[in-house]
Every structure is written in structure tokens, then in C-alpha cells.
Amino acid sequence: MGRRAHTRALGLWMNGVRVGTWRMAPHSPDTLQYDPSWVQSREGRPLSLSLPFTPGNAPHRGERVRHYFDNLLPDSPDIRTRLARRYQAHSANAFDLLAQAGQDCVGALQILPNDASPGAASVQARPLSVSEVADVLRHATAATTPGFMENDDVRISIAGAQEKTALLRLDDRWCMPQGATPTTHILKLPLGLVGGMGLDLRESVENEWLCAQILAAYNLPIAQCEPVQFDGVKALAVARFDRMWWTAADGERHLIRLPQEDLCQATATAPDLKYEAQGGPGIDRIMSVLAGSMTPEQDKRTFFMAQVLFWMLCAPDGHAKNFSLFIRPGGRYQLTPLYDVISAYPILGHGPNQISPFKVKLAMAVRGKNAHWKMNDIQRRHWVAMGTRHGVITADGQAVEALLEDLVARTPAVIHEVRRQLPAGFPRQLADSILLGLADASERLGG
């Protein structure tokens, strides 16, 4: 292995346009320099609210640069180490990993060698058989790729704590994208037994799908998803809302990457501080960000309703990385659809592989006069106080109490509608625990 350059650089691209350069040198802070033509472009926008365009296009340096790129990668050190082995990266740090796995990041960003370009924008893909998709999923947890993929130069980076991969869905077929073609779906594997307590989340695929149907029934924007199975390997296929099909004047279809970032990136927060209890953003901080959105009232309302429904669903993982922003031209922004919602109702209890209902907490505290974390401690008045403090109103301008009353009033119909959607063979105990828990929480919210 040759000696690495004293200062290393990676090119940053969005939809075939160079937007900047990321540099790293020994004993020096990371540096982000925007391309002058990108700053002046009508489509120009910063990578992040935490990395805005600067007077004179002065570069950004230091931790906020490192945190932005770190948040593009999986949270788990084990998964990072496995990716480093798979892609033969020098190390598992952000620069070395993204130098090898940055061709298809969350949002619009592509990270390439400094002297490379993304290539043709036309859609290029190789269809996969059912058994090949199964192999891709099985190898998502391995340090190597399936043998049939050895000639596919596919380098994908997806943030999060869960084992997952991504594929292209084209003409109702699962495909391996080639060249500069993006993926369209994230495929998430079952979580299995999680943490030191061995919490039983082997049905996380069904759990997340059901929670998504519930949130959609309350008319909250949520990523579309469906359970899939390939040769006995199950996964949740989540449609990427950071991808959009576009047809050119000549009739050729293109797949566009949509710029976005999560709330850790937007607030220059390291990924290991994503929970408020660890020092990450809480409800107040995120509400202040959303106050500057293109659609502030709508986004604050959606975020508030999401927090209430996380409580009603006993969903404890609504941390800052599980909320994101679309970044629009000029640095304007708005909240993306919701994603990654899983209920803890199926694992509440006092036995093995369970968690006590008296210990489960929200990822972000609900603050009235005091901070309230535990699900069992939170009451209607805490939601009223928090919503009132942040000026949350209904779409027709009523106070936050009307929003809560509407959630309560709609819950029986939501439960009925979602039960009707359950496919044959859906785990009955899982569905009952979540839907009965939702009904009980609605009664508590109704006072």
C-alpha cells in the first residue's frame, strides 16, 4: 500500500454538478469548501443548515464538518468496521469510509475521488432474481459482497443503527444500480434481539410497517413501506423520499436525488449524541429550527403530532436522526416525511427479552414546568403546555387543545381502518399489543 498524501481531498457532487471539496490533513481540522459556481447557481444550496454559504465563500472547518459527514454513516461501530473491510477502506473513520462508500448517500450527495466525476445521468441497472436479492440481504451483515456482485461497483452509505441495504426498483423489478444511478428503496432487516437486555425485536419489520400505517391513517406524512420476502429472507422495503423520477423533454426518464439532512446534521451534532439525554437536540431545539422552515406552522404541527403519537404508540426511538429536512435552493428548508417508527408495546413486560413499562422513555423530553421522559409519567397537560409554548395550532388556526381532541376523536376509526388493512398471516399478538396500547393511550390523552 502506497503512502497516502499529506492532504487528502474528496469531490462533492449533487445530480452531476460539483458542489464542493472535503479536505482532511493530519493534525488539522476537516475543511469544507464550496465550489464558487455552486454558490452562485440558481440551484445552489448548502449541504446543511450547519454549513451555510459564507461571505467570500470562506471554508468551513472543524467539528461541524466532521459531524456532518459522520452522520451519513451507520451509527454502529461494528457495522462501520464491517463496511471498512467490505470496501477495503483504510479505516472506519468518516473520510476513509466515505471515500469508498460515498457514491450513494442519503440525500443528493455523492462523494467521489477528487479527480473523478459521477458519469452519465441515464438510468443504468441490472435486474436481480429473487435468489440474488436474498443473497444481497444475507450479505448485508457480512464483510464481503455476494459473488455475483463482484463486478458491480455499487458503494452505498446509509445512516442508522439497523442492518440495511438499498436497491433500485425499476419497472416492477428489483435491480442493482450501475454507474451514477441511485437506489430507490432501503431494505431493512429484522432487528433481532437488541441490547444488553436482549429485547425481542425479531418482528421489527411487521412492527415498523404497522406503525407507518397508523401514522398515515392520522394523515401524517410517512415514508411508504411494505414487508417483502425473498427465499425466506424478510425485510421492510422503504421507498426513498430523497429520490424522484423526472421525464426529460426527449422522453428519457431520470432519477433525481433530492438534498436533505437529518436534525443531527442540521444542528452540528455528533451521531453518538443523537438522543437528548446524551446532549442531542430536544423538542425545543428542533421547534426553533422548524420556526425558520418554508412552512413553519405545518412543520411544527407535524413534529408536535409525531411526538404525541410516539407517546401513544410507546415509540421510544424518535431521536434527532429520525427527523430530517429537505434542503431547497438558497438554503430554504422544510420537514421531510417521517420514518423509522417502532412501537415498544410488544416488548413491554417483566420477563426475559422485555422492558418494564415503568422504564420505557421517549427519546425527547416533554417539558411543561419540568422535563418528563417516562411514558407513564406524561399526561395531557404536559402536551398542552408544550404545544402552547411553541405556538402549535390546527390547520384552521385553533389552539393546541383542538389538535389533541382531534387525535382522540379519530383514534377508533384509525384502529378500525388499520385492522382492516392487516394482511393474512400478520402476527396477531403484535397487532393486538400495538392497537390496544394505542386505544388506551387515547383514553389517557382524552382525560
Catalytically active residues are: 317
Q: End-to-end distance of the chain based on CA atoms, in angstroms?
A: 67
* Alpha helices (H) along 313-377: none
- Counts of helices then strands in the chain (DSSP H, E): 12, 20
User: Could you tell me which of 166, 189, 319, 173 has the C-alpha nearest to residue 257?
Assistant: 166
What is the phi-psi region of residue 345: left when phi exceeds 0, alpha when psi lies from -120 to 50, beta otherwise? Answer: alpha
Question: Cell 389533541 sits at which residue?
Answer: 404
Residue type, 415: I
Other beta carbons within 10 angstroms of residue 325's beta carbon come to 26
- Whole-angstrom distance, CA of residue 216 vs CA of residue 213: 5
User: Could you tell me which of 316, 404, 292 has the C-alpha nearest to residue 364?
Assistant: 316
Cα dihedral across residues 403, 407, 413, 417: positive or negative? positive
Question: Cell 441515464 sits at which residue?
Answer: 122
Residues with Cβ within 8 Å of 161's Cβ and at least 6 positions away in sequence, in order, are 74, 75, 76
Return the SS3 of 378. Answer: coil
- Whole-angstrom distance, CA of residue 24 vs CA of residue 28: 7
362, 316 Cβ separation under 8 angstroms: yes
The C-alpha cell at 269 is: 451534532
Question: Cell 436522526 sits at which residue?
Answer: 321
Residue type, 323: F
Q: Is 176 exposed, middle or buried (0-12, 13-18, 19+ CB in 10 A)?
A: buried
